[in-house]
Amino acid sequence: MCEDINNAPDGSVFMLHACSHNPTGCDPSHSQWDELSGLMKKKKHVVFFDSAYQV
């Protein structure tokens, strides 16, 4: 995922799942979310979160 974020043009739009990433089923750790956040900020990407199953 980090490679895709880095390779996307600056200012790209991403939709992330808050938990149980589809299709991988992965739940990033706090440190992984920190890494993803840093990459998104660096590239000035716009991020939306799909949290349909969150309470």
For 1-27, the pLDDT digits (tens) are 899 999 999 999 999 887 776 677 778
pLDDT band for position 38 (cuts 50, 70, 90): very high
d(CA 3, CA 32): 13
pTM here is 0.76
What phi-psi label fits residue 11: left (phi over 0), alpha (psi between -120 and 50 degrees) or beta? left
H or E, element range at 40:
helix 30-43
Could you give phi then psi for residue 16, rounded to 5 degrees? -115, 150
How far the first Cα of the chain sits from its last, in Å, is: 26
